[in-house]
A and B are shown apart, each in its own frame.
Chain A
Amino acid sequence: MTYALRRILVTIPLLLAVSLVVFALVDALPGDPAVRRFDLHANPEAVKAWRAEHGLDDPFLVRWGRYVGGVVTRFDFGKSYAHSHPVGEDLGRRLQATLELTLCALLLAVVVGLGVGILSAAYPRSLFDYAGNLLALGGISLPVFWLGLLLWILCTDLLGFPYRSGRAEAPGMATGLYLFESLFRGHVSLFLEQLRRIFLPALALSTIPMAVITRMTRAAMLDEIGKDYAVTARAKGLRRRRVILKHVLRNALIPITTITGLQFGTLLGGAVLTETIFSWPGLGSYIVEEGVLANDTPVLVGGILLVATTFILVNLAVDLLYSRIDPRMRRA
Chain B
Amino acid sequence: MTHRRLRILFRSKTTLAGAALVALVALTAVGADWIATHDPELRQAEFRAPPSAAHWLGTDENGFDVFSRLVHGARASLLAALAAVLFALLLGVPLGLVAGWYGGWIDSALMRCVDILLAFPSVLLAMAIAVGLGGGSLGTVILAVGVVLVPVFVRQVRAAVLQVKTHEYVIAARALGAPDLRILLKTVLPNCAGPILVLATLSTGIAILDAAGLSFLGLGPPATAPEWGVMLTKGVRYLKQREQWLLLPPGLAIAITVLGFNLLGDGLRDAFDPRQR
Q: A interface vs B, CB < 8 Å?
A: 14, 17-18, 21-22, 24-26, 28-30, 137-138, 140-146, 149-150, 152-153, 157, 219, 265-266, 268-270, 272-273, 276-277, 287-288, 292-293, 300, 304, 307-308, 311-312, 315
Residue numbers in A under 8 Å from B133 (CB-CB): 28
The answer to whether B218 and A292 touch across the interface, beta carbons within 8 angstroms, is: yes
Residue numbers in A under 8 Å from B121 (CB-CB): 265-266, 268-269, 272, 307-308, 311
A268 to B213, CA, bound (A): 14
Residue numbers in B under 8 Å from A141 (CB-CB): 205, 255, 258-259, 262
Q: Is B116 an interface residue (CB 8 A)?
A: yes
8 Å CB contact of B131 from A138, A219, A292: A292
The answer to whether A137 and B218 touch across the interface, beta carbons within 8 angstroms, is: no
Query: In the complex, which residues 129-183 of chain B have their Cβ closer than 8 Å to any Cβ of chain A?
Result: 129, 131-134
Residue numbers in A under 8 Å from B259 (CB-CB): 137-138, 141
Q: Is B188 an interface residue (CB 8 A)?
A: no
8 A–B pairs (Cβ distance < 8 Å), ordered by A: A21-B117, A28-B132, A137-B259, A149-B236, A157-B242, A265-B120, A276-B217, A277-B236
Main secondary structure of the interface of B (DSSP, over half): helix
Using known A-B contacts A29-B134, A149-B247, determine if residue A143 contacts B254 with beta carbons closer than 8 Å.
yes
A292 to B244, CA, bound (A): 28
**CB of A301 to closest CB in B, whole Å:** 9
Assuming A149-B247, A219-B276, what are 9 further A-B pairs, CB within 8 angstroms? A14-B119, A26-B128, A138-B255, A145-B213, A146-B247, A268-B121, A269-B124, A270-B123, A304-B127
8 Å CB contact of A273 from B128, B129, B216, B258: B216
Using known A-B contacts A25-B131, A29-B132, determine if residue A140 contacts B262 with beta carbons closer than 8 Å.
yes
Residue numbers in A under 8 Å from B124 (CB-CB): 268-269, 272, 287, 304, 307-308
8 Å CB contact of A25 from B129, B236, B251: B129
Using known A-B contacts A140-B262, A145-B216, determine if residue A18 contacts B120 with beta carbons closer than 8 Å.
yes
The answer to whether A269 and B131 touch across the interface, beta carbons within 8 angstroms, is: no
**CB of B213 to closest CB in A, whole Å:** 6
Using known A-B contacts A269-B124, A272-B127, A292-B127, determine if residue A25 contacts B132 with beta carbons closer than 8 Å.
yes
Residue numbers in A under 8 Å from B244 (CB-CB): 153
8 Å CB contact of A26 from B132, B239, B251: B132
Smallest Cβ-Cβ distance to B202: which chain A residue:
A140
Q: B interface vs A, CB < 8 Å?
A: 112, 115-117, 119-124, 127-129, 131-134, 205, 209, 212-213, 216-219, 232, 236, 239, 242, 244, 247, 251, 254-255, 258-259, 262-263, 276
A304 to B263, CA, bound (A): 33
Residue numbers in A under 8 Å from B262 (CB-CB): 137, 140-141
A273 to B127, CA, bound (A): 11
Smallest Cβ-Cβ distance to A223: which chain B residue:
B275
Residue numbers in B under 8 Å from A21 (CB-CB): 116-117
A309 to B244, CA, bound (A): 39
8 Å CB contact of B115 from A14, A145, A270: A14
**CB of A158 to closest CB in B, whole Å:** 11
Residue numbers in B under 8 Å from A219 (CB-CB): 276
The answer to whether B217 and A269 touch across the interface, beta carbons within 8 angstroms, is: no
8 Å CB contact of A308 from B112, B120, B129, B134: B120
A226 to B122, CA, bound (A): 36
Residue numbers in B under 8 Å from A277 (CB-CB): 236
Residue numbers in B under 8 Å from A272 (CB-CB): 121, 123-124, 127, 213, 217
A300 to B205, CA, bound (A): 28
**CB of B129 to closest CB in A, whole Å:** 6
Most buried by B among A28, A141, A150, A315: A141
Residue numbers in B under 8 Å from A273 (CB-CB): 123, 213, 216-217
Residue numbers in B under 8 Å from A300 (CB-CB): 128, 131
Residue numbers in B under 8 Å from A22 (CB-CB): 128
A139 to B120, CA, bound (A): 22
Smallest Cβ-Cβ distance to A277: which chain B residue:
B236
The answer to whether B232 and A269 touch across the interface, beta carbons within 8 angstroms, is: no
A311 to B251, CA, bound (A): 29
A24 to B132, CA, bound (A): 8
The answer to whether B239 and A14 touch across the interface, beta carbons within 8 angstroms, is: no
Most buried by B among A137, A138, A266: A137
Residue numbers in B under 8 Å from A28 (CB-CB): 132-133
Which 4 residue pairs spanning A and B have beta carbons closest together?
A269-B121, A269-B123, A25-B132, A146-B251
A311 to B205, CA, bound (A): 23
The answer to whether B219 and A143 touch across the interface, beta carbons within 8 angstroms, is: no
**CB of B231 to closest CB in A, whole Å:** 11
Residue numbers in A under 8 Å from B217 (CB-CB): 272-273, 276, 288, 292
The answer to whether B251 and A143 touch across the interface, beta carbons within 8 angstroms, is: yes
Smallest Cβ-Cβ distance to B209: which chain A residue:
A143
A146 to B215, CA, bound (A): 12
A157 to B239, CA, bound (A): 12
Residue numbers in A under 8 Å from B115 (CB-CB): 14
Residue numbers in B under 8 Å from A276 (CB-CB): 216-217
A312 to B117, CA, bound (A): 11
**CB of A118 to closest CB in B, whole Å:** 19
Residue numbers in B under 8 Å from A157 (CB-CB): 242
The answer to whether B251 and A292 touch across the interface, beta carbons within 8 angstroms, is: no
Smallest Cβ-Cβ distance to B259: which chain A residue:
A141
Residue numbers in A under 8 Å from B112 (CB-CB): 17
**CB of B217 to closest CB in A, whole Å:** 6
Residue numbers in B under 8 Å from A268 (CB-CB): 121, 124
A205 to B148, CA, bound (A): 21
